[in-house]
Amino acid sequence: MEQRAAGRVQTLDRDTCLALLATVVIGRVAWMTADDDLRIVPVNFVLDGDGLAFRTDRGGKLAAIEHGAPLTFEADDVEPALRVGWSVVVSGRAQVVADPEEVRRLERFIGAPWAAMSEPVFVRLPLREISGRRIPLRAGGVVARSVEDL
């Protein structure tokens, strides 16, 4: 892990990003619509080999994927009382999972969707463009008084 300066925001390496993603089950997917509107929605996801997979319903997100628009996925975790946290971002072009056997495997991995879906579809986003940052715990419980103190 690369650290810019003691007590400052750390830039995370790929392995650390993947380890952190494995600790959460909810992230957010962002994409631009054909009308150049930014959309961001929560998804439950799973790391799966060289990608992350999530289930979605027919609609804007799926239309963007089918038209080759890039997606950005973000997951994070914070502890407000300690003023620590991390964020990992994955970007790229996602693909619809079409193989029925692969769909059945992902259904077992991801489990039931949190929201009702009329036509669920699985999507895989490759883990090619991945980055992360972390605000580490500061020794002695030092509390930041301004953004510059982070």
Domain-embedded: residue 20: yes
**pLDDT (tens digit, 9 = 90+) per residue, 28-63?**
999 998 888 999 999 999 999 999 999 988 877 888
- Dihedral, 81, 25, 16, 64 alpha carbons, nearest 10: -120
> 50: Cβ–Cβ under 8 A, 6 or more apart, which residues?
126, 127
d(CA 135, CA 9): 5
Domain-embedded: residue 5: no
* pTM for this model (two decimals): 0.82
Domain-embedded: residue 63: yes
Domain-embedded: residue 149: no
Domain-embedded: residue 146: no
In total, how many domains does the chain have?
Answer: 1
Tell me the two tokens of residue 118: 């009329």
Query: What is the model's pLDDT at position 120?
Result: 84
**pLDDT (tens digit, 9 = 90+) per residue, 100-144?**
999 999 988 887 777 777 888 999 999 999 999 999 887 655 555
Whose structure tokens read 């973000």? Answer: 74
The domain in which residue 70 lies consists of 14-132
**pLDDT (tens digit, 9 = 90+) per residue, 87-102?**
999 999 999 999 999 9
CATH code of 77's domain: 2.30.110.10
Query: What is the model's pLDDT at position 129?
Result: 96
Considering only residues 117 and 77, tell me which one the structure prediction assigns the higher pLDDT.
77
d(CA 20, CA 123): 21
Domain-embedded: residue 114: yes
Tell me the two tokens of residue 32: 């631009």
Q: How confident is the model at residue 5 (pLDDT cuts 50, 70, 90)?
A: very low
Domain-embedded: residue 4: no
d(CA 141, CA 136): 11
**pLDDT (tens digit, 9 = 90+) per residue, 14-27?**
999 999 999 999 99
Strand order in the sheet with 71-79: 2-3, 10-12, 129-135, 84-92, 71-79, 26-32, 38-48, 51-56, 121-126, 95-96
Sort 22 into a burial class: Cβ within 10 Å, 0-12 / 13-18 / 19+: exposed
3-state secondary structure of 143: coil
Domain-embedded: residue 97: yes
Query: What is the model's pLDDT at position 73?
Result: 97
